[in-house]
Structure 1
Amino acid sequence: MSLFQQTSNVLDIPTGRLKMDILGPRWQKDKVVVVMGATGTGKSRLSIDIATQFPSEIINSDKMQVYKGLDVVTNKISEQEMSGVPHHLLGVVNPNTEFTATDFCDMTSLAVESILTRGLLPIIVGGSNSYVEALMDGGDYRFRSRYDCCFLWVDVSMPVLHEFVCKRVDQMVRNGMVDEVRDMFDPTADYSRGIRKSIGVPEFDSYFRAEPYLDEENRARLLGEAVSEIKMNTCKLATRQLEKIQRLRNVKGWNIHRIDATEVFCKSGKEADKAWEKQVARPSAAILGEFLYNFPTPSTATVGTAKEYFPQCLVA
């Protein structure tokens, strides 16, 4: 059970509107949470954890997951994993069109306003940091002038993350990735537009073109080469994403809270879940408690139970 679920049980928190003004003056600006991180670090998991504690809706900021289709290739969160939390900008765009950063900014701004009018907390989550940067720093900083943003960065040591994403690609193959891409294969397709830019699509091009003419051994060899290329490109993507976050934090001066999840990925089963609660869920809950309600943030080394920093008046 996550920390956020424990908190709900301890505090008997009902579903409903966030009570923003019960602790004193109303917020000067409406609040928005942004969950960042390289591919595979657990951003979606953390966003759902947050949303099960604070009545929220989630806005996807992954530039490939915004398209319809290729759910395995783009690693879209499943309906079961959503735990009933509404998601925006997820699987809604024609896969053959080009979805731009400007489109993202326009649609996200509308989604944020819609979520806030219902008294809920908007959570923007995804790995496309260029989209998030355009939203935050574009248009004369219009978004930031209107909203107070809290940035949570789920970080994992690159060697550990690279090993994990390679295993995840193998699992995606077992989950039907090859057939999923084969079903939309078009030898005349443009891999520079739409969903076909996704890692896991162009890498199969040579395999699908040659597949009908190869014996079983050579098909297996060519397929293995395609999968290896997907792993390599995914690891390169993770490295670029990390570099972008570090630039936003260290060069542009964004106040990004780093949450180290490396220990989680070095464990398995219940031990990994315990590490997630201790290393990710609890520190994130403390940071959000301060951000949303101006409660002091305990150090991650001494974080106690959720009851210490979430009184019984968070929602009504």
Structure 2
Amino acid sequence: MRIIQKIPKDNGDKVLKEKMRAILNSPRDNKQKILLEEAINKVKLNTRRLVHRQKRRVNRLQTFFGWNIHYVDATEYVSRKSDESWVAQVVEPAVMIIKSFLNENLRSVFDLEAPNSAVVEPVQRDLWTQYVCQVSKI
């Protein structure tokens, strides 16, 4: 007979982190450690791939449709969990961008000092035509 211990929801994350820390601090030949490290590496790889795809899609929106894209960076909040950084770096810039959009004054939004925040002229392109890259023969 198997008994399942129910962990209170409040302590669930804490217990999980402690167990993972114990596994990661175990000897190199521990099978659980090897599996956990592989899982962590796969999550990191998939996250990098997701970010790359998202950036490529955003750049296409900017290039082909002329959208004025603004970036809001929440990295400091995520790494430090500081409420002040959340308000200053995420909430305030997002509110200004939204107000500007609602006022139909997209070009006057403050400069976020990001290299990709420059205005890009849209490429004129027929959206219903399929473009195929022809492979050149060497």
> Structure 2-normalised TM-score?
0.47
- The structure where helix makes up a greater share of residues is 2
Q: Which one has a larger percent strand, Structure 1 or Structure 2?
A: 1
